[in-house]
Homo-oligomer: A and B are copies of this chain.
Amino acid sequence: MSSSYGKNLRLTIFGQSHGAAVGMTLEGIPAGSEIDFQELSAFLARRAPGRNPWSTPRKEPDEPEFLSGFVGNVSCGAPICAVIRNSNAHPDDYRDLSLVPRPGHADYTAEIKYFGFQDRSGGGHFSGRLTAPLCIAGGIAKQLLEKEGIRIMSRIYSIGEIPDEGELTDDLSRKAFPTVSDEAGKKMIDLIGRAAAQGDSVGGIAECVCTGVPAGLGDPMFDGMENRISQIAFGIPAVKGIEFGLGFEASKRRGSQNNDPFEIIDGKLQTKTNNAGGILGGITNGMPLVFRLAVKPTPSIAVEQESVRLDTKTNETLTVRGRHDPCIVPRLLPCAEAAAAVAILDAYLQRRSELYGKHGPEKAD
């Protein structure tokens, strides 16, 4: 199996980049959940292409049609299905690629995996376009979590060697280029522009911060929050690493520097620092849940590259045509939020079962 995620929620994503549609089914959304479809569209628009210099000019309205799961805008308990039609497909751009796999892309591995039967147009099921249905699911999950006081925000943490500055404490989703420091943002935009001018691309790091997450979400061992979030986050194309809290930086520290001391403030337990990123033993501790995704530079570049012909087994050079982002990080932010939202809501629904009949979260404080 491949394109399904979750236990209490169950998300399945389908579609190919230049097929009839992309879409998703989502089971487990509690009956009676009211969804603001306009807000959902606004969330999807953050991922949509074609709005900025650093984004591909392919323009898709990306408006989902809901085929099931709702009566009006209220969920009815049945599985939700939503589809986005592919109105602007250009399959011809990809014709030459079929026998000469693009370096850094899934063209070759798809060929091996599916014995040549994969849908080659535009990356088929491997296309970044498949993150649109992820954002439908994530946008729904986000709205449900917000009603519970859980808020999911993100920023561009770095582009290439250029880091953002400061900490992410506010929602930046209205910014066209969401960095805390506008100055750092300008440098990053500049870097992206230079790479684009050379027909090249550049990578970066996305950071996601989730506040209001109650303590007690997640399970030990293989269903901890780190396990759950990484399982869904690596479903976003181009992600090659994930870290929680200090992450790789923690590996350089002493225990006495890395452990987060507990303290009581106003009768409430918290930690003085948050190096753990809100997770201990796989379970949330009530502090903000923080993770970062390492995003590789977009593999589709106009620069000439070395590849091979799969049929003749001869070396070839390749120049990728078509419409591609010189940097995917800005459009990846809502995807990271979507991944977090689905993972957290899944854990949250399980937690409700644990809390039912107990004194509730406040008891355990």
Task: Judge whether B259 and A14 touch: CB under 8 Å.
Answer: no
Given known pairs A195-B254, A260-B103, the reply for A363 and B115 (CB within 8 Å) is yes
Given known pairs A158-B251, A284-B109, the reply for A221 and B363 (CB within 8 Å) is no
Check: A187 CB closer than 8 A to any chain B CB. Answer: no
Interface of A is mostly: mixed
Check: A285 CB closer than 8 A to any chain B CB. Answer: yes
**Assembly of this chain: how many copies?**
4
Check: A116 CB closer than 8 A to any chain B CB. Answer: yes
Residues of B within 8 A of A79 (CB): 2-3, 12-14, 125
In A233-291, the 8 Å CB interface with B consists of 234-235, 237, 239-248, 250-264, 267, 269, 271-272, 276-277, 279-286
Check: A5 CB closer than 8 A to any chain B CB. Answer: yes
Residues of B within 8 A of A227 (CB): 230-232, 234-235
A354 to B356, CA, bound (A): 9
Task: Judge whether B294 and A78 touch: CB under 8 Å.
Answer: no
Q: How distant is A289 from chain B, measured CB to nearest CB, in Å? A: 12
Task: Judge whether A108 and B298 touch: CB under 8 Å.
Answer: no
Enumerate 21 A-B pairs (CB-CB under 8 Å) in ascending A order: A3-B221, A78-B124, A104-B255, A109-B215, A109-B283, A113-B216, A115-B361, A115-B363, A125-B220, A126-B220, A195-B254, A200-B254, A222-B231, A222-B235, A227-B232, A228-B231, A241-B250, A258-B297, A261-B305, A269-B313, A352-B356
